[in-house]
Structure 1
């Protein structure tokens, strides 16, 4: 899935790279797209990502319903339920970036 997302972003003209949340420190990213195991894992992921990145964040999960109904999603640009379509991802990316 990761490789597919990277290809979709690259094909759309975005420069995308793979990184773990712990690997964000000291790097500049315009946007972070993060896969989260489910609603119970959101708080830990947000703490980890927000420690290094204050910008837009898109969450992906097979355990979220459409529309992102999990608690603790303040400051998240979009929540996308997997499986997702290329156009759905790119629409969320365009909306999150200035």
Structure 2
């Protein structure tokens, strides 16, 4: 994965199951998708050590995003389940 020191870019496909290699370097991008790819990425995030910086930053960002989404609109059952799961992981992280 190319990392630029001065610029960051995110390229997202329009398909929820876009093909990205399942590596640590693509974890953040896969956390920004939906469906099966997102659930697999959350499993990987949860498996990271508590001391991992990506785990902490991703959980904080995702919780902020989903908290705002939950307040702004009616979410389907899958999104509500996702929020509950992220909340559980987040609470464990904060303890």
Q: What is the TM-score normalised by the length of structure 2? A: 0.30
> Which structure has the larger Rg?
2
| Structure with greater helix share of residues | 2
Q: Which has the higher contact order (CA 8 A, sep 6+)?
A: 1
